[in-house]
Amino acid sequence: LQIYDDLSMGIPLKWSLGLTNGNSGTGADNEQEKGLCLKIGANPLRDLYVSVSRYSSGDLGSGKAEISYAGLTDAPAKSERWQRAIFEIDLRYDFGAGKENRLTPGAPAWSDSKAFVRFAYGLFDDNGDASTAVVTDRKGSYAFIEGCYNVTDSIYLGTRYSFADFEDGDVYASLN
């Protein structure tokens, strides 16, 4: 279930709230807690898009999460039950912006702007629990910055830098 609306109050502003099964691969409601995601996006300037997102999975049992960071959807090692929380802020600035509506953009790699720069920073927290084992929870951050320059309508140049980092105390946490 997803609801959304346009709240423009002098600047273009939208919000979206989603309620999902929380885990992936089941294709049906397995009676676990539901995932909740809230996103608020705005265009404070014509060429600048800003959004903030918050996701909480609820209890995932031993299943995989619907949302990932650094491609990771699995539970912390040895978890019998777990939950995931993610917070993210996104910024995008367009140079020579075209007609594309920044609050309802097209495919992520496509833009009618001459060039753009995007930045995202997120925090994640995976909390696991097991009755007979010690579970190492995962907490940390991730970020990326990327740029794209449209040389022609069919040729573009792009670059990206990204990282995912665990908190210092998560010495046994890994992405594998």
> Could you report the per-residue pLDDT of 98-136, keeping only the tens digit for each?
776 666 655 555 677 889 999 999 999 998 888 888 887
Q: Are the CB atoms for 70 and 45 separated by under 8 Å? A: no
Q: Give the chain's residues under pLDDT 50.
A: 176
Question: Residue 160: enclosing H or E segment and its boundaries?
Answer: strand 156-166
Q: What is the mean pLDDT of the chain?
A: 82
Please give the structure tokens belonging to residue 153.
Answer: 């309508």
Burial of 49 (0-12, 13-18, 19+ CB in 10 A): buried
* 3-state helix, strand and coil shares in percent for the chain, rounded to the nearest 5: 0, 55, 45
Report the share of the chain in percent with pLDDT over 70: 82
In angstroms, the CA 65 to CA 36 distance is: 12
